[in-house]
Chain A
Amino acid sequence: MGRKSRDSRRARVAERQGASQAPVPDGTRAATAAFLGWLIPGGGHFWLGRSQKGLVFAITIPLMFVIGLALEGTLAPFDPSRPLVFLAAFADLGNGVPYMLASLAGLGEGRVVAPTWEHGNTFLIVSGLLNMLVCLDAFDVAVGRK
């Protein structure tokens, strides 16, 4: 047996061993990370041990949400007859617990005539969408893609 074929056989064996030792993506863990991330901004990253990133998300995303409310933005209602409003509502929902608390407290009624109303809506919608991205990032981290 030549040296070349021995080397290639060793490489194949090492590759097989490496493949068998690679961590198997855990769907439940990933789903939990994503769900926690949605519920509490940064929660998924905290749960995965990435506390610094989690802390940044836990501050910035709710801060954007609160600024949106302070600017008299509206938490859009789920109204299927108005597709854009429905999409905005879906984006708002991305904020998780802050969204639920604000809804329960009757905040987010908005004031259409306020000069900052559109800005408020932008802050509310974008904070929800950013949190969805953060959830997906937590999912990717949990399955080992990042």
Chain B
Amino acid sequence: MSSHFLLLVLFAALVSVVFAVLQKDEPKEQLRFGGLIFAGFVATAVVLGWVFLPFPL
């Protein structure tokens, strides 16, 4: 698997699960918190991807 976006989603999902379980005790809260972190990860990556588009490597 070499799709950068899929790897990003996989990474975000796994880290979100760990953070949610670490920070919250109730399953409902874990789901909400984990979803929020996951969405934050993916949205930030997409936004930063667009912001950095004009800069050549």
Interface residues in chain A, defined as those with a beta carbon under 8 Å from any beta carbon in chain B: 53, 56-57, 60-61, 63-64, 67, 71, 115-116, 119, 122-123, 126, 130, 133-134, 137
Majority SS of interface residues in chain A?
helix
Name A137's contact: one of B7, B15, B22 (CB within 8 Å): B22
Tell me which residues across on chain B come within 8 A of A116, comparing CB atoms: 1-2, 7
Does B14 lie at the interface of the complex (its beta carbon under 8 Å from any beta carbon of A)? Answer: yes
**Which 6 pairs across A and B sit closest by C-beta, in order of nearness?**
A56-B21, A119-B7, A130-B18, A115-B2, A64-B14, A60-B14
Majority SS of interface residues in chain B?
helix
Interface size for B (C-beta < 8 A) is 12
Bound CA–CA A115/B3 (angstroms): 10
A71 touching B7, Cβ below 8 Å: yes
CB distance from A81 to the nearest CB of B (A): 27
Does B28 lie at the interface of the complex (its beta carbon under 8 Å from any beta carbon of A)? Answer: no
Bound CA–CA A67/B14 (angstroms): 11
Residue of B nearest to A56 (CB): B21
Does B42 lie at the interface of the complex (its beta carbon under 8 Å from any beta carbon of A)? Answer: no
